[in-house]
Amino acid sequence: MSPAHRFDRGHTDDLISFLAASPSPYHAVANTAARLEKAGFRQIAETDAWDAGGGTSDAVQAMGEGGKFVLRGGALIAWYVPEGATAATPFRIIGAHTDSPNLRVKPLPDTGAHGWRQVAVEIYGGTLLNTWLDRDLGLSGRVTLRDGSHHLVNVDRPLLRVPQLAIHLDRGVNDSLKLDRQRHMTPVWGLGEVREGDLIRFVADEADLAAEEIAGWDLMVHSVEPPAYLGRDRELLAAPRLDNLLSVHAGAAALAAAAGDHLAYIPVLAAFDHEENGSQSDTGADGPLLGTVLERSVFARGGSYEDKARAFAGTVCLSSDTGHAVHPNYAEHHDPGHHPVPNGGPILKTNVNQRYATDGGGRAVFAAACERAGVPWQHFVSNNSMPCGTTIGPITAARHGISTVDIGIACLSMHSARELCGADDPHLLAAALTAFLEG
C-alpha cells in the first residue's frame, strides 16, 4: 500500500456513521440526499415540469446549471450540470444499489406459538440465513399514512431475535445446519398472547404517529451491532450493509467532490433499490427511472431526441458493487489466477458471459481513472466451475445502450448480516470514482 493512501480515517469514519444511520434503503437515500443538499444540490420533483414550456420559474431555474436530485422510494438519481454543458453533453454515471438481503415484515405480522409472541417475516434477497440467528435485531423502514405521506421508522435497539435450536436438541447441527425459511426464521419479540395489530401499534408509538392512520408499511429487521474497525492494526472494517451502501456512500462523496464548472461530462449518481431480487421495480435498475431522468434533463436543456441519442452514445457508467476477496479458508472456491485482497484497491469485475458488463474499452476507462487518482486496483474473475453473480451493470448497459463497467471493492461474508472489508478500500474507491467523474 502506498504511504499516500495509508488509512484515510476521516472517510472511513464517515462511512461508519452513514452505515449506522442507514438501516433501510429509505434511510440510505434520505441520508444521501441530506449530504448532497449540504453540498449545494437541490431536490427536483418528478411531478414538476422540467422544461421552459410548462414549468414554474422555480422548476425551470432548477433545471439549469448546478446540482439536483430526484428521490423515489429507496432510489435516488443525482446529477450536476456544469457551466457550458449542452443538450448533447454525455454523462458519467456511478451506479449502485441501496438494498441488502435481510428479513422483511409480512402484511399480517403478528404471529406466535407456545406462549411466544413473534413477527412474521419474508426472506429478502440471497440472505445467508445462519448469520441472522441469535443476533440482536432492530426494526426499520417506512410507514405510509392514509394521506399518502411516508414516515421513516428506526427502532435501533435489541427488539427481536431469531433463536437457534440448542445443540442438545440437534446433535448433528455442526455437521449439517438446515434452516427452513418458513418455520425457522421467525423472530421472537416477547411473551404472551398474540394480538392482531400489536406490531403496528408499537411502531406507531415509536414514530409518534396514530396507529389508525397507518395504511401500509415497508419494514425490515437490522442488526443493532454497530460497524467497527477490526484486527490488530484496525486495518479491517466489519459492518452491516457494506453490500452496497459502501458504494452509495463513495458515489455521493465522489459526486460532491467532482461537482464544478470544469467538467466535460455531466456526473451522475444512480442509487437503485431492489438489486438483490432482480431490479425489476419502478425503483430498480431494470425500471425506467434512470433513463427517464436523464432524458428529461436533456430535453430541459432544450435538447431533441437526437441530442439525447448523442449524449447516451458518449456516456459511460461505472456499476460499483462489492465483490469477493480471496477467502483464506476456502481459496479453492476462487479462480486460482485472480485473488483480490482487502486494501488492495478497487476491483475490476469481468465475465465473458455478460454477468458483468466490463469489456476491454471499459477496462481502459477504469484503469485511467485509477491512474489519475493514484490508487491501486485489482481483477476479479469467477471460478469457471461455479456460476457467476451479477449486478446492475448488464441491466444498465442493455436497457439504456450505455457503455458500462463493473467494479467494486473486495470483501468477505457477502450477504451476511455483517460483512468484512479492508478499511482503506472505501476511500480508495471514492478517489477512483471522483477521478472517473472528473474525466
* Residue 60 host element (H or E): helix 57-62
Contacts of 289-293 with C-beta under 8 Å, sequence gap 24+, read 289/70, 289/72, 289/75, 289/77, 290/77, 290/93, 290/396, 290/400, 291/399, 291/400, 293/70, 293/77, 293/79
Euclidean distance between CA atoms 343 and 411, whole angstroms: 10
User: For cell 476456502, what's the residue?
Assistant: 330
pLDDT of residue 5: 44
pLDDT for res 439:
87
Q: Sheet harboring 410-412: ordered strands across?
A: 228-230, 236-239, 419-422, 410-412, 323-324
Query: Strand 410-412 and strand 419-422: pairing?
Result: antiparallel
Query: In this predicted structure, what is the pLDDT of residue 9?
Result: 84
* Nearest of 162, 168, 160, 164 to residue 178 by alpha carbon: 164
Residues of the chain with pLDDT under 50: 1-5, 54-55, 57, 59-60, 62
> Which H or E run includes 422?
strand 419-422
Quick one: DSSP state of residue 222? Answer: E
Element (H, E) at 408: strand 403-408
Q: Take residue 11 and report the three cell numbers written for it.
A: 472517510
Which residue's entry shows cell 440465513? 129
Burial 333-363 (b: 16+ CB within 10 A, else e): ebbeebbbebbbbbbbbbbeeebbbbeeebe
Kindly write down the DSSP assignment for every residue of 92-157, as one continuous string: EEEEEE----EEEEEEEEEEEETTEEEEEEEEESS--GGGGBT--EEEEEEEEETTS-EEEEEEEE
Task: Look up residue 246 and give its three cell numbers.
Answer: 459502501
* Amino acid 194: pLDDT: 97
Conformation bin of residue 197: beta by default, left when phi > 0, alpha when psi is -120 to 50:
left
Q: Kindly report the pTM of this predicted structure.
A: 0.95
Interior angle at CA 15, CA 264 and CA 74, nearest 5: 75
Radius of gyration of the chain from its Cα atoms, rounded to whole angstroms: 22
